[in-house]
Amino acid sequence: MKATESELLDLIAKEAIIDREKLTREATLEDLGISSLDVISMLFELEEKYGVVIEEGDMPQMTTLGEMVDYLLSRINAEATA
């Protein structure tokens, strides 16, 4: 199952308990208050929803929400087409 940016942003808003309107590509994870625990929770949800396993340790160092979304989309959609 392929993922969209909108679906990922909805999931991030839910897991990190952030207003969806605040989730812009330029926003930093630090400014949004997204912690490593939030990321782990998101990864579990992504695994359940899309059947993709992404370990937190596999993720590159990212500072903006856009970087994180692009990485997650590439991983999810690469496995969906494999």
pTM more than 0.85? yes
Helix axes 65-81, 5-16, angle to 10 degrees: 120
> How confident is the model at residue 56, as a pLDDT?
84
How far is residue 10's CA from residue 50's CA, in Å, rounded to a whole number? 14
Superfamily of domain 5-81, CATH level 4: ACP-like (1.10.1200.10)
Sequence-separated (6 or more) residues with CB below 8 Å from residue 47: 53, 54
> How confident is the model at residue 18, as a pLDDT?
95
pLDDT, mean of each 10-residue run, the chain (82 residues) = 93 94 96 92 92 89 95 90 72
